[in-house]
Structure 1
Amino acid sequence: MAHTVVNVLKRMDRDECFVKALCLIQLREVSNAAQKYRLPKDLKMILSALKISANRRKSKLPSPDEELSSALVTLEDAVQTGLNACANPHSNTTICEQRYSICPASREDIYAYIDLIYDYFL
C-alpha cells in the first residue's frame, strides 16, 4: 500500500509542489524549533519516516524495485534539502524555492495551507 501511495504521489506531482512543500515544511520545522512552530503530528511522523528511510537507504544496496526507489528518493531528497537549507542561514529560505521552482505555489502559500489544515490533524 505504501509503495503504491509513494508512486502515485510522484506521478501526480508534475509541478513538484508536494516535494517543495516537504522541503519548506522541514526547513520551517528546524529553523523555528525554538519558537515551537505548530506542525501537525502526522506531518512530523511523515518527515521523520522519510529521514529514517533516507538514512537506511544510504547504508544499504539499492532496492530491486527501482521505480519505488526513484519515487521514494524524490521525497527523501526534498526533506534532506530542507534540512541542508538550515545550515545556510543566508539563503535557507530560497534553497527549496530554487530547487523546486517549477511549482507555482509560493512559500507563503504552502505555509498558509499547512496552517489552514493544522486543526484537522488534531
Structure 2
Amino acid sequence: MDKSTDICSNNGDCVCGTCECKKRENPEERYSGKYCECDNFNCDRSNNKLCGGHGRCECRVCYCDANYTGSACDCSLDTSTCLAKNKQICNGRGTCECGVCKCTDPKFQGATCEECPTCPGVCTEHK
C-alpha cells in the first residue's frame, strides 16, 4: 500500500508487484483486496456468531440481512414481538428497539408496556 504498512498487509506475498493473498485453513475464510487488506472472518460477533448469524462479513464489515441492523447484525427490526393485546406497538407507551419494548411512560412496565402496578384498578376508577 505504502512504505509505512506491511507488505500485502502481512496477509499475503508480493509476487511480481501483485499481492497474492494467503490461504486459510478454513476454506470459507479468505483474505481479499488489492493489498490483502480485507477478510471475511474478523467482523463483529453476537452470540458467538459472525455478524450475529444475520449477515455476511466483507472487508471486516457486517452487511446485515433484511430486518436486521447493528454492527453485528444483532438488532432485529421486526416489531411483532412488541405488539400489545390492543395491537399497538408497546401499548402506545414505549418504543420497540431491537424487538424489545422500552417503556417511555415510567408507570408502565412489562414485555409490551401493559402492566401498571401503581395504576388504580377498574373498580377504583369507576367508584
The two structures share one fold, judged by TM-score above 0.5: no
Give TM-score scaled by structure 1 length. Answer: 0.19
Asked which structure has the greater RCO (Cα within 8 Å, sep 6+), the reply is 1
Give TM-score scaled by structure 2 length. Answer: 0.19
